Amino acid sequence: MLNIESVNHIGIRIGEKDRSVAFYTLLGFELMRDAGYENGHPLILKHPSGVVLNLLGPATVEDHDNILMDIADKHTGVTHFALTVSSLEDAKVYMETHGVTITGSFSIDNMSAIFIRDPDRNVIELDAYGPIEKVDMGDYSNHV
């Protein structure tokens, strides 16, 4: 077994530097370093929780679909990442207040989740854990 201690960072291809940095700053991330974005190196952002993102770009294709989620053909690859929040209700209010669309939700056992998209349509799942509840997959729609 490989002794993995934690996830180091998440790499996300983006199309527009300023728009993406503004979005992730809204989620609480801070731009730590531009390692050469225009040359294909990452923008490094860090959240106070310790989560690190590498925003990579610039994208070379102008497409408004997420190839892993929004087309009929199903390609292999990472479809989304999930962040744990302390209160899903607070997260919903925060997203709505800041104009971020909630694209889906589900509850299972003691976890509830909502889905949002970044400006490049990458899927982000926000999870909160609470007391054990019945399974409700009514709004679950393939991690939209």
Residue 57 confidence (pLDDT): 86
Query: What are the structure tokens assigned to 79, written together?
Result: 């479809």
In order of their start, the domains of the chain are: 1-59 (3.30.720), 79-137 (3.10.180.10)
Query: Residue 137: is its pLDDT beyond 60?
Result: no
Gap between the Cα atoms of 103 and 126, Å rounded = 11
Alpha helices, H only, 50-131: 88-97
pLDDT in tens, 35-47: 999 998 999 999 9
Gap between the Cα atoms of 131 and 133, Å rounded = 6
